Chain A
Amino acid sequence: MSENCEFKYTDYKNDLRVRWCPGCGDHAILNAVQKAMASLGVEPHNVAVISGIGCSSRFPYYMNTYGFHTIHGRASAVASGVKVANPNLHVWQITGDGDALAIGGNHFIHLIRRNIDINVILFNNQIYGLTKGQYSPTSKRGFISKTSPFGTVEDPFRPGQLALGARSQFFARTIDKEIKLSVAVMEEAAKHRGASIVEVLQNCVIYNDNTHEAITDKKHKADRTIILKHGEKMIFGAEKNKGLVMDEDHNLKAVTIGEAGYTLEDILVHDAESYHVSMHRKLSNMEYPELPVALGVIRSVKGVSYDESVNDQLEQIQAQTSVHTFEELVNSGDVWEVK
């Protein structure tokens, strides 16, 4: 990644008319991704954007980069192939809650486990939009939709917990309309070597409007979310007077500084780079109204990516081997000559 920012976000736009519904959260996410790329200074021809199927998966068509709109659920696998074939590319996967967590669940967890250097942008709107409104694996229990007219009787995945369970080394969360936060988070995700999962709380204006409104609404956002920053105290609230502490059962608790004996000293510091996952799991699981919803980079642990390891191994073996060509291969072992 070059340091100089010689690109504008418009360099990543093409002239295709964007066909998402007016007011859809996807527009803002597209904008944020393009801004993040410009800020990173990645040349458009070194970017590959891979998607599956769903509203969000139309994304690659709107990018002036290489792009592949694949089949339902398989974007993680296709993206993995792209990255391993050419590790110099910056590979982004665009996916939704149905694409990544239902039909593509297996590929999603294995992409994370392998730690392939791909930036996964997971649009979570808790609904199947392109098929016009069925519940998804992130829809809350009891959710009423066309395929659950009496409410669902199943619990949703928490994408963060799922990713961390699959040994995710990078997990972050943002909100579609918070473009500034999204750009910052996506830049971090891109810089991370390995699989980076960014969950974007995205609004489907047609089939699940306002699903995240309780926390994303301007009036309440500051009190119902917390933006985590590595190395800083976990403080939130419109008055910046609330914070997270650990209670006697080792659960997170939101307190008000200056009340019930809590001081600034008591507020926990966010350590995104800790290898231990338990605090990250607690943070990613926080739900309103019990606790504020965590935004920003929740976990970012340095490690070796799969694609780096593949290349290291190839180089190492090629340095040691006595077989360097096809001819040497077929002539090695049990060979005899007929004269």
Chain B
Amino acid sequence: MLPLLALKEIHIGFNPLKFAKHMARSSKIIERDEVVVRFSGDSGDGMQLSGSLFSNASAIFGNDISTFPDYPAEIRAPQGTIGGVSGFQVHLGRTEVYTPGDYADVLVAMNPAALKANGKWVKHGGTIIMDVDSFDEKGMRKAGYVSDDPIVEDKLGDYNIIKAPITALTKESLKDMGLDNKSILRSKNMYALGLVYWLFDRPLEHTNKYIKKKFAKNPAIVEANLKVLKEGFDYGVIIQAVTPSYHINPASIKPGKYRNLNGNTAVAWGLIAAAQKANLELFLGSYPITPATEIMQELSARKDLGVKVFQAEDEIAGICTAIGASFAGDMAVTSTSGPGLALKGEAIGLAVIAELPLVIVNVQRGGPSTGLPTKTEQSDLMQALHGRNGESPCVVMAASSPINCFEYAFYAAKIAVEHMTPVILLTDGFLANGTQPWRIPDLKDYPEIKAVRPTVAGKDWLPYMRDPETLVRSWVKLGTPDYMHRIGGLEKDEESGAVSYDAQNHEKMVQTRADKIKKIEDFIPEQDILGHADSDLLVVGWGGTFGHLYTAVEELYSESKIKVALAHFNYINPLPKNTYDVLKGYKKIVVCELNMGQFANHLRMTFPEIPYLQYNKVQGLPFTVVELKAHFTKLLEE
């Protein structure tokens, strides 16, 4: 699969621009179905912008894409150090891509630290573009190199290294434009970006348009960026005689309007869509926490659509204001990450016993305690299921791709409102920050969301009367005459809702609340099996690992005709009705999770007669397709 190509270092000691126009495009083009590009540099080098512009240009070109940013937890980590390296990875393909890719085909390294941190993530024989100007004595030492030759030291001799004097050429390009040195140096990322555009033969139009719009208030910056981007591209033209470039055909993509979307924005928009469908006002009570904050920021900006966001004094107030808003009649949401979910536990119990609709979005990160705030993990599952006092069941569901965060936020809100229950929606740092092209949906294709309202007159109505089928009580908007009622966290009489300490009544209420949640299985889709259902091996996953698990299963078959079945869960509590039928009958079941086995244990508790193997990773990183394929192959061979 890998190109064993031109293992050369290219040194350019002359001004390449003078020669650019006289040279034709190289014929040395690598045809690929998919490719992974990683942009990396100092956190101030603008790599996130370069990466997302390249991703968008590729998506518009017609490739399917999946991206993931990787930046330090510190806002301004020391310049030039490994801790300060900021990266952005994009995976593009002519067929569908489900992950941002494990290893990169192309690495852009703007400084020695970027190379040091990312060299090991480049496929053997891949292409590395480095800004040679930053590889001076000082930069090399800061990055931790002990020799003067990073290529030798990192054993990158078999790689296709493009040593481009990006800093010098950017300075040269902009020297007569009257810009200050800082602004000139800030344009370096556009030079690198231009070079990558050449490498993949991407058109510049869309990016030019974007730059003009983004810097509209500063024409000099627009001009500088456009010039440097173009010259970066032209630099590629010059070196093409000795450098291979890539060609990836467009994917066959369903017609429609598209945009790139990350998981956090998708959650925010899914909630807005749900509120619109339900004809309810949307209220978010929340407190900033990495990596969930962007949900709150996006909804804060949506005052144009009437969204009310309450930035609370702490996590507890975040959920409690949401519970108040739900009691009053709004579609109420709180967003958080693991430590925040821990603080919200008691209040979730209040929503459980009061039977109020509430969506709790938990963007998982590495734990325990503060843990790894910017890294991904799936270790809040047990907390979501059980992290409360008393018998306190609520719905737990999980999104499995950045863009399906939209769907699952929508359905979380629908279930909350229609079943009068808190719903915990689990996403994770990987989904939250990853992007994919999103086909803009027509809300007409989404189901209605119907709040459960009283069906009897106020004088005959009691707050805990239930629909006999769903066991759901009805919800009254505060301010409605004749339906005044009191609710609370004390156990309540089964119908009137009045405080009750009666022993039999308590047991009945505990059972009723559990049954109400269990009955939701009639309203969610059955679990499907992907890949090859007739395999001896069933891979079980849930949430954000879908892309890696699915790609591994697909590649095992396409590369080696190895058949593996995959059951990837989005509904955790209740589980889909047919879960037992899905799990039974396999010789081996391996539950793969980014934790120590929480879903495996959930399944063990639910279906103890089935034996489960586990494959776990707790490094703050997603699985790699490579390690999954190796493990599944080994399991089939054993």
Q: Tell me the A residues contacting B by CB distance below 8 Å.
A: 16, 43-46, 48, 50, 53, 60-61, 63-71, 74, 76-86, 88-89, 106-107, 110, 310, 313-314, 317-318, 321, 323-327, 329-331, 333-339
Q: Does B34 contact A (CB under 8 A)?
A: no
List 10 A-B pairs, Cβ < 8 Å.
A45-B479, A48-B327, A64-B484, A66-B486, A67-B487, A71-B320, A80-B310, A88-B479, A333-B259, A336-B206
B residues less than 8 Å from A50 (CB atoms): 324
With A86-B328, A89-B478 given, is the CB distance from A74 to B316 under 8 Å? yes
**Cross-interface CB contact of B321 among A84, A331, A334, cutoff 8 Å:** A84
A65 vs B486: C-alpha distance when bound (angstroms): 8
| Smallest beta-carbon distance A61→chain B, Å | 5
Q: Does B423 contact A (CB under 8 A)?
A: no
Binds A, one of B74-82, B188-196, B248-256: B248-256
A324 vs B443: C-alpha distance when bound (angstroms): 15
A residues less than 8 Å from B630 (CB atoms): none
Q: Tell me the B residues contacting A by CB distance below 8 Å.
A: 56, 59-60, 62, 206, 210, 253-260, 269, 272-273, 276, 281, 283, 285, 302-306, 308, 310, 312-314, 316-317, 320-330, 332, 346-347, 349-350, 354, 440-441, 443, 477-490, 498-499
B residues less than 8 Å from A63 (CB atoms): 486
With A89-B479, A110-B313, A326-B272 given, is the CB distance from A81 to B489 under 8 Å? no
Could you tell me if B317 and A86 are in contact, using CB atoms closer than 8 angstroms?
no
Please give me the residue from chain A that is nearest to B476 by CB atom: A66
A64 vs B458: C-alpha distance when bound (angstroms): 13
A residues less than 8 Å from B62 (CB atoms): 338
Could you tell me if A78 and B60 are in contact, using CB atoms closer than 8 angstroms?
no
Could you tell me if B306 and A314 are in contact, using CB atoms closer than 8 angstroms?
yes
B residues less than 8 Å from A48 (CB atoms): 327-328, 478
Could you tell me if A78 and B324 are in contact, using CB atoms closer than 8 angstroms?
yes
A residues less than 8 Å from B330 (CB atoms): 85-86
**Cross-interface CB contact of A68 among B316, B346, B483, B486, cutoff 8 Å:** B486
With A45-B479, A81-B328 given, is the CB distance from A335 to B259 under 8 Å? yes
B residues less than 8 Å from A314 (CB atoms): 303, 306, 308
A78 vs B346: C-alpha distance when bound (angstroms): 13
**Cross-interface CB contact of A78 among B59, B272, B313, B320, cutoff 8 Å:** B320
A residues less than 8 Å from B483 (CB atoms): 45
Please give me the residue from chain B that is nearest to A107 by CB atom: B317
**Cross-interface CB contact of B347 among A64, A71, A86, A325, cutoff 8 Å:** A71
A318 vs B303: C-alpha distance when bound (angstroms): 7
A residues less than 8 Å from B60 (CB atoms): 336
Please give me the residue from chain B that is nearest to A314 by CB atom: B303
Please give me the residue from chain B that is nearest to A103 by CB atom: B316
Please give me the residue from chain A that is nearest to B61 by CB atom: A336
A103 vs B557: C-alpha distance when bound (angstroms): 58
A107 vs B312: C-alpha distance when bound (angstroms): 9
Could you tell me if A330 and B440 are in contact, using CB atoms closer than 8 angstroms?
yes
| Smallest beta-carbon distance B160→chain A, Å | 31
A-B contacts besides A85-B308, A326-B269, A326-B443, 13 pairs, CB < 8 Å:
A71-B347, A74-B317, A80-B324, A81-B320, A81-B324, A81-B326, A82-B324, A83-B324, A313-B303, A323-B305, A324-B304, A326-B272, A338-B257
Could you tell me if A68 and B303 are in contact, using CB atoms closer than 8 angstroms?
no
Could you tell me if A338 and B255 are in contact, using CB atoms closer than 8 angstroms?
yes
**Cross-interface CB contact of A45 among B254, B281, B440, B484, cutoff 8 Å:** B484
With A81-B325, A85-B283, A107-B313 given, is the CB distance from A321 to B304 under 8 Å? yes
A67 vs B481: C-alpha distance when bound (angstroms): 14
Could you tell me if B210 and A317 are in contact, using CB atoms closer than 8 angstroms?
no
A residues less than 8 Å from B304 (CB atoms): 317-318, 321, 323-324, 329
Could you tell me if A69 and B486 are in contact, using CB atoms closer than 8 angstroms?
yes
- Most B CB atoms within 10 A — which of A82, A313, A327? A82
B residues less than 8 Å from A83 (CB atoms): 324
The 4 A-B residue pairs with the shortest CB-CB distance in the complex, in nearest-first order: A81-B324, A69-B488, A77-B320, A81-B321
A residues less than 8 Å from B312 (CB atoms): 77, 110
Please give me the residue from chain B that is nearest to A48 by CB atom: B478
Could you tell me if B308 and A310 are in contact, using CB atoms closer than 8 angstroms?
yes
| Smallest beta-carbon distance B275→chain A, Å | 9
- Most A CB atoms within 10 A — which of B314, B332, B443, B479? B479
**Cross-interface CB contact of A84 among B313, B325, B329, B487, cutoff 8 Å:** B325
A314 vs B283: C-alpha distance when bound (angstroms): 13
With A45-B480, A74-B317, A84-B308 given, is the CB distance from A337 to B486 under 8 Å? no
A residues less than 8 Å from B303 (CB atoms): 313-314, 317-318
A161 vs B312: C-alpha distance when bound (angstroms): 23
Please give me the residue from chain A that is nearest to B439 by CB atom: A338
Could you tell me if B350 and A71 are in contact, using CB atoms closer than 8 angstroms?
yes
Could you tell me if B324 and A85 are in contact, using CB atoms closer than 8 angstroms?
yes
**Cross-interface CB contact of A77 among B206, B305, B317, B329, cutoff 8 Å:** B317
B residues less than 8 Å from A313 (CB atoms): 303
**Cross-interface CB contact of B253 among A65, A110, A334, A338, cutoff 8 Å:** A338
A287 vs B283: C-alpha distance when bound (angstroms): 43
With A74-B347, A335-B259, A336-B60 given, is the CB distance from A326 to B324 under 8 Å? no
A167 vs B300: C-alpha distance when bound (angstroms): 25
- Most A CB atoms within 10 A — which of B206, B310, B317, B490? B317
A39 vs B145: C-alpha distance when bound (angstroms): 80
B residues less than 8 Å from A67 (CB atoms): 485-488
B residues less than 8 Å from A318 (CB atoms): 303-304, 306
Please give me the residue from chain A that is nearest to B304 by CB atom: A321
B residues less than 8 Å from A53 (CB atoms): 489
**Cross-interface CB contact of B486 among A61, A323, A325, cutoff 8 Å:** A61
| Smallest beta-carbon distance A50→chain B, Å | 7
A residues less than 8 Å from B283 (CB atoms): 81, 84-85
Could you tell me if B313 and A68 are in contact, using CB atoms closer than 8 angstroms?
no
With A85-B328, A321-B304 given, is the CB distance from A78 to B321 under 8 Å? yes
B residues less than 8 Å from A81 (CB atoms): 283, 285, 310, 320-328, 332
With A45-B482, A69-B487 given, is the CB distance from A327 to B253 under 8 Å? no
A86 vs B329: C-alpha distance when bound (angstroms): 8
